[in-house]
């Protein structure tokens, strides 16, 4: 019997490996990914496997913002649930605020006044037992990670309870995604101890937070109570549980007036209007279930505007909260966010927004040129050039889908998150604002300037290895543009069908790049691995050249090796023009050169690879060919 079991297991592994080889073909597949296929947590057609799992946590947090001191003090209880088949013998906790700790490594500049003792943990318990965090035999604290050996192993399908009291100083001059922005307004993020990710690919995530790279969190349930002075308001990732206790009567009345036909001013940003004269402090109570994170903004002087998106029987509140000084940038923009959300929900990707509200909170100021997404709320800056703000608004709003609805590991696969999100941003620019050439051309210009240089690395190289130049070029420019190229090649309808399938397959789950590749291959019915290989894995760049023309056959050489469309303009001696267009599929055979034929007896005067607005090319000097008579 034992021999038979061994034979059966061997045949299963051979079958899985054969399917992987068919599905992946020439795509590099790390051993961690191969293991996931063998264990059935992933499928070679791009679906989650029959044995897919992910761990979960429940957080109960009581916090207070000490506004005069700029200190957050809190206590929390965590119930961590092991849904994996593994016996877990240690636990890793993310302490993001340790990025500000003196002596710790970081990848972003921190103002000296914001370098602190990091996350100060006053008490830490596991299953009610105190843990000595100074005991180096069982506890290791490095970077932003706290690793603790468990006295009692966490078995599959069981849970463990952790509790802790802690505090940290809120940064006041370092604007890395959150900060105290003036004396009475804050955006709070990366703020609570949380269990690190343990998944089917990498086990414990031990990268830590360096300030440069973004989310890698599991989904969790949050019950959060936040104590602030009575004249402050809070806008958060969760649903407010006690509006009657914290909102003045006129705010509740204005919220009830909010509709989908215009914009309602919930209140003007005047601290005296918000002051609660009967109470020195208020406790705001929030719940957020199945969320990747919980963040919030607070202020006593912001303006609050709102509108609604009504879809079938669902109502989605859209809030825009901004500083009075920046009124010209944000006033009336709630309608634009509503337009974006409606387009994303109905057209592309065609997946409804999954929550009952969205908040655009203005914490950052003019000139900082930064914004950061969080579940159901984003922290927005502005550009002095107001036309650029629409791109930013559309982009951060699109993060609804990645990494929040589809849980992409941004620390390792940032190109998936930012590439798809920037593609959705282009959708608004192209199809809502009719600004295709303005916005896409900016990205093409950036690719032209930097592609093929030392900083140009394939997206599959883990994102945590990038620095600023690599991050912009790889995670944003190259990665977003590949989806435009793919859409052009597949056709819009088929592309959106593939994209929508990927979201629906992986919403609420943690896809890896090959899940995206295999879904597009599966739904399109095409083997696109030649395309994925070039754009994601290879050291290549866009550079087409016209080599020659002979007997109405034009040779186009792909010097850089990256498959891009070919847009050829032929000018004849009588100045008439003929255009030939081929999608990137023309390079499917990995050809370094192709021949394009045309049927015309007129004499050719000039050949030109055109459409510089939409097709990147690092060397346009070889895009023109003058025919010598």
Residue 346's φ and ψ, nearest 5 degrees, are -100, -30
Q: Are 159 and 104 in contact (CB under 8 A)?
A: no
Q: Specify the DSSP class assigned to residue 524.
A: H
pLDDT for 321 equals 97
- Strand order of the β-sheet with 179-182 is 179-182, 185-188, 296-299, 233-236
pLDDT for 11 equals 43
Note the helical H segments in 432-465.
436-450
Bond preceding residue 349 cis, omega within 30 of 0: yes
Residue 113's φ and ψ, nearest 5 degrees, are -70, -15
* Predicted TM-score of the model (pTM): 0.93
| Residue found under tokens 């490996």 | 17
pLDDT for 284 equals 98
pLDDT for 473 equals 85
Q: Are 105 and 54 in contact (CB under 8 A)?
A: no
Residue ranges, the chain, pLDDT below 50: 1-24
Question: Can you read off the two tokens belonging to residue 430?
Answer: 């192209």
Number of H helices, E strands in the chain: 15, 31
**Residue among 451, 509, 394, 392 at smallest CA distance from 52:** 509
pLDDT for 20 equals 44
Angle between the N-to-C axes of helices 492-506 and 513-524, in degrees from 0 to 180, rounded to the nearest 10: 130
């Amino acid at each position: 019997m034992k021999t038979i079991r061994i034979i059966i297991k061997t045949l299963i592994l051979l079958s899985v490996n054969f399917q992987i080889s068919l599905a992946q073909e020439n795509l590099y597949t790390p051993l961690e990914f191969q293991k996931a296929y063998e264990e059935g947590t992933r499928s070679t057609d791009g679906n989650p496997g029959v044995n897919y799992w992910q761990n979960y946590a429940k957080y109960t947090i009581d916090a207070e913002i000490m506004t005069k001191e700029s200190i957050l003090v809190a206590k929390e209880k965590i119930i961590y649930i092991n849904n994996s088949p593994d016996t877990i013998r240690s636990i890793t906790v993310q302490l993001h605020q340790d990025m500000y700790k003196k002596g710790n490594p970081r990848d972003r500049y921190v103002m000296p006044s914001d370098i602190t003792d990091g996350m100060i943990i006053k008490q830490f318990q596991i299953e009610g037992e105190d843990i000595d965090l100074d005991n180096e035999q069982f506890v290791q604290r490095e970077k932003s990670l706290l690793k603790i050996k468990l006295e009692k192993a966490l078995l599959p399908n069981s849970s463990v309870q952790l509790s802790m009291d802690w505090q940290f100083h809120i940064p006041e001059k370092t604007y890395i995604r959150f900060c105290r922005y003036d004396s009475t307004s804050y955006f709070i993020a990366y703020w609570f101890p949380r269990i690190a990710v343990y998944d089917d690919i990498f086990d414990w995530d031990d990268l830590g937070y360096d300030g440069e790279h973004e989310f890698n969190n599991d989904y969790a349930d949050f019950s959060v109570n936040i104590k602030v002075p009575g004249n402050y308001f809070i806008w958060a990732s969760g649903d407010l549980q006690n509006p009657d206790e914290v909102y003045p009567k006129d705010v509740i009345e204005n919220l009830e007036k909010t509709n989908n036909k215009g914009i309602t001013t919930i209140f003007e940003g005047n601290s005296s209007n918000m002051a609660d004269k009967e109470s020195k402090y208020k406790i705001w109570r929030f719940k957020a279930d199945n969320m990747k994170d919980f963040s919030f903004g607070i202020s006593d002087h912001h303006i609050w505007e709102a509108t609604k998106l009504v879809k079938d029987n669902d109502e989605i509140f859209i809030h825009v909260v901004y500083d009075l000084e920046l009124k010209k940038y944000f006033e009336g923009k709630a309608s634009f966010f509503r337009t974006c959300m409606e387009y994303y929900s109905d057209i592309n990707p065609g997946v409804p927004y999954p929550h009952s509200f969205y908040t655009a909170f203005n914490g950052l100021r003019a000139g900082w040129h930064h914004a950061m997404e969080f579940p159901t709320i984003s922290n927005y800056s502005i550009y002095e050039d107001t036309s650029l703000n629409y791109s930013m608004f559309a982009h951060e709003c699109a993060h609804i889908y990645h990494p929040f609805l589809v849980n992409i590991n941004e620390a390792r696969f940032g190109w998936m998150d930012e590439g798809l999100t920037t593609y959705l941003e282009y959708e608004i620019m192209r199809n809502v604002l009719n600004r295709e050439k303005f916005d896409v051309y900016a990205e093409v210009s950036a690719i032209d300037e930097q592609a093929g240089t030392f900083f140009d690395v394939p997206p599959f190289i883990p994102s945590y290895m990038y620095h600023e130049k690599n991050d912009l070029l790889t995670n944003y420019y190259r990665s977003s543009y590949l989806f435009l190229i793919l859409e052009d090649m597949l056709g819009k309808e088929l592309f959106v069908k593939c994209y929508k399938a990927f979201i629906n397959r992986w919403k609420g789950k943690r896809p890896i790049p090959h899940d995206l590749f295999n879904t597009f291959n599966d739904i399109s019915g095409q083997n696109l691995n030649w395309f994925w290989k070039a754009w994601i894995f290879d050291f290549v760049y866009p550079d087409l050249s016209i080599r020659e023309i002979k007997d109405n056959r034009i040779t186009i050489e792909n010097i850089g090796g990256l498959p891009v469309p070919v847009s050829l303009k032929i000018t004849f001696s009588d100045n008439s023009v003929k255009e030939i267009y081929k999608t990137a599929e023309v390079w499917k055979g990995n050809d370094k050169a192709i021949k394009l034929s045309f049927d015309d007896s007129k004499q050719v005067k000039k050949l030109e690879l055109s459409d510089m607005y939409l097709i990147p090319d690092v060397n346009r000097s070889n895009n023109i060919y003058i025919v010598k008579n």
